[in-house]
Structure 1
Amino acid sequence: MKRLFGCLCALLLSTAAHAELRIGVSVGQFDNYVSYLVQAMQDRAKASPDGVKLQVEDSASDVVRQLNQVESFISQKVDAIIVNPADTAATRKISEKASAAGIPLVYMNSRPEVDTFPPGVVFVGTDERAIGQMQMEYLAEKMGGKGNLAIILGRLAHSDTGKRTSGVKDVLAKYPDIKVVEEQSGDWQREKGMDLMNDWLTKGKTINAVASNNDEMGIGAAMALRQTGHQEILVGGIDGTPDGLQALKKGQLAVSVFRDPVAIGAGSVDAALMLIKHAALQGDIWVPTQLVTPDNYQQFLRK
């Protein structure tokens, strides 16, 4: 009887060991914001009663590498795949291969440029055009509806860059006295935001406000302005990262838009688990956003 009990225990332990769910994750580029998404995913996976193991890979903005990573996940027979696209215009093969293998697929943070998703494929993220509108409405009001605006774009191949900038220009259409005097890419990076602003100041550009496609580039621009004594120029960011919130506290940023990385990252893991369990999920799962100003930034600070 003891031997039988021992065999049953061994069998149960063996089954439990193989019951762990495996989710393959490929991110477009492991930058500042994506690092918060990955941390949120890892925290949710650890807390899940299902027993979840994440395998996180960085495609370094390489479309071919990302597709190879997805193909590797499929060959490993993972239970689900989460993809933060390296290029939102190049996701068709990823969707096709995951669907053909019958593996649930969650796109995270940056929405692929498709009208609809096939069954078993969803997107978790935010409405980027609306975010650009929120940012610019605040800046336009603070500018008194007139003046010169510089726009610091994200990575040009990234759809969020186009959507956020389109949102900014939606608002500008209502303010003919606000002129766009500069519009260049800072590639999502703080250093490049600083370099752009230093270049514009060196050329003697008159700028009253800056609409940056993310906090990092906005912080870089604000640092250049502070170093040259131009602190009267308004700088708006997007993401509401911890660094962005500190920049608001210091008066470097005038505004940001909070894109909750915990809601997006953890929500992507939740969506993957639901798809694994054959829940009827499809389409877009939108995460709410909020305007962050010097008056309310405290409520977004992480404890």
Structure 2
Amino acid sequence: MFQSPAARPSIFRRLLLALVLASLPGLSLAELRIGVTVGNLDNYIAYLVRAMQDRAKQVEGGATLQVEDSASDVVRQLGHVENFIAQKVDVLIVNPADTAATRKITQRATAAGIPLVYLNSRPEVESFPAGVVFVGTDERAIGQLQMEYLAKQMGGKGHLAILLGRLAHDDTRKRTAGVKDVLAKYPDIKVVEEQSGDWQREKGLDLMNNWLLGGREIDAVAANNDEMGIGAAMALQRAGRRDIPVGGIDGTPDGLAAIARKQLAVTVLRDPVAMGNGAVDAAVKLAQHQALQGDLWIPVHLVTPDNYQQFQRQ
């Protein structure tokens, strides 16, 4: 016999309650939706994205990440942000394509009332408005750590080549400034080359080949990241110059493996897992309206042939 809805109260009440809860702010049954746009999905950023995806699986209630690659295009990245806002995501995570071009991103996010986490590369601003944070590392201090180690390897004198990252990138400027902070204490170390390898292994290799072919005297190399450092070290090894210490930055798995192979003499670990976890954790807290603002610094570690094994992940 047909039963009216009134005769089946438990089923319909449960359905009605679920619909009501789903419509209330802060009580949605859906997973947390996080829109992610990265400056360039290169080697290190790929590790960061993987770490964020793994962390999202651990979020209570669930979280989904929609990841977009701006391919170093500021306009494209702003378009990603605007699309995420139109989709009404819960939180934005942005790895800036250009640290000097984040003003519109911050404006759009705050106007829409969507929390914003900047990741890995700090925007060139003194402070952030409420609901906006940065998760990353102190790049100038990292450059100082790298160069202090190399200066000791050089015995405080000699000829240094600096492999710069992307010139428009603020991390390039900060890391190099850290290197030069240390050089100010070592007047007998002279910078003989300072060119951009655009963060890429192949360009680091090409630049070093050119310097060697040109007869440039080089006693050590300070690279703004592991990839360029590995490229330079490959060129040096092919030329039979294993005596020249090369420093990298990031502490990627490839960078740590390069230390094990005696290609890199040193790197500075910017743990992508810790940073990716920190970004997702910050996004969750902001979505829950917890008080969070400013810079959330991730610790760094100097990695050398003496200690690299403790930083290798299984």
**So what's the TM-score if we normalise by structure 1?**
0.97
Identify the residue that residue 153 of structure 1 maps to in structure 2: 164
Supply the distance in 2 between the matched residues of 1:8 and 1:154 (Cα, whole angstroms).
Answer: 60
Supply the distance in 2 between the matched residues of 1:250 and 1:171 (Cα, whole angstroms).
Answer: 27
- Against the structure 1 CA distance between its residues 237 and 2, is the aligned structure 2 distance closer, same or farther, given a 3 Å change threshold? farther
Secondary structure of the residue aligned to 1:140 is: helix
- What amino acid sits opposite 2:262 in the alignment? G
Identify the residue that residue 67 of structure 2 maps to in structure 1: 56
Bigger radius of gyration, 1 or 2? 2
- What amino acid sits opposite 2:81 in the alignment? V
- What amino acid sits opposite 1:273 in the alignment? V
Identify the residue that residue 231 of structure 2 maps to in structure 1: 220
- What amino acid sits opposite 2:296 in the alignment? I
- Against the structure 1 CA distance between its residues 2 and 44, is the aligned structure 2 distance closer, same or farther, given a 3 Å change threshold? farther
Query: Of the candidates 283, 296, 299, which is equivalent to residue 285 of structure 1?
Result: 296
Which structure 2 residues correspond to residues 267-286 of structure 1 after superposition, within 5 A? 267-286=278-297
Supply the distance in 2 between the matched residues of 1:237 and 1:275 (Cα, whole angstroms).
Answer: 34
Which structure 2 residues correspond to residues 182-201 of structure 1 after superposition, within 5 A? 182-201=193-212
Query: Of the candidates 117, 131, 134, which is equivalent to residue 142 of structure 2?
Result: 131
- Against the structure 1 CA distance between its residues 193 and 2, is the aligned structure 2 distance closer, same or farther, given a 3 Å change threshold? farther
- Against the structure 1 CA distance between its residues 21 and 12, is the aligned structure 2 distance closer, same or farther, given a 3 Å change threshold? farther
Deviations 1:204-229 (A, max 9, x none): 01100000000000000000111110
Identify the residue that residue 313 of structure 2 maps to in structure 1: 302
Which structure 2 residues correspond to residues 182-261 of structure 1 after superposition, within 5 A? 182-261=193-272
- Against the structure 1 CA distance between its residues 159 and 208, is the aligned structure 2 distance closer, same or farther, given a 3 Å change threshold? same
Identify the residue that residue 36 of structure 1 maps to in structure 2: 47
- Against the structure 1 CA distance between its residues 60 and 292, is the aligned structure 2 distance closer, same or farther, given a 3 Å change threshold? same
Greater Cα shift, 8-17 or 240-249? 8-17
Cα shift at 1:5: 2.9
- Against the structure 1 CA distance between its residues 18 and 198, is the aligned structure 2 distance closer, same or farther, given a 3 Å change threshold? same
Greater Cα shift, 17-26 or 274-283? 17-26
Pairwise CA RMSD of aligned residues?
1.4
Deviations 1:193-213 (A, max 9, x none): 000000000000110000000
Supply the distance in 2 between the matched residues of 1:209 and 1:8 (Cα, whole angstroms).
Answer: 73
Cα shift at 1:19: 2.1
* Residue 6 in structure 1 maps to residue 8 in structure 2: no
**So what's the TM-score if we normalise by structure 2?**
0.94
Aligned residues: 303
Cα shift at 1:3: 3.5
- Against the structure 1 CA distance between its residues 17 and 273, is the aligned structure 2 distance closer, same or farther, given a 3 Å change threshold? closer
- What amino acid sits opposite 2:185 in the alignment? K
Secondary structure of the residue aligned to 1:204 is: coil
Structure 2: gaps spanning 5 or more residues: 1-5
- Against the structure 1 CA distance between its residues 186 and 2, is the aligned structure 2 distance closer, same or farther, given a 3 Å change threshold? farther
Secondary structure of the residue aligned to 2:106 is: helix
Identify the residue that residue 32 of structure 2 maps to in structure 1: 21
Secondary structure of the residue aligned to 2:163 is: strand
Identify the residue that residue 99 of structure 1 maps to in structure 2: 110
Identify the residue that residue 3 of structure 2 maps to in structure 1: none
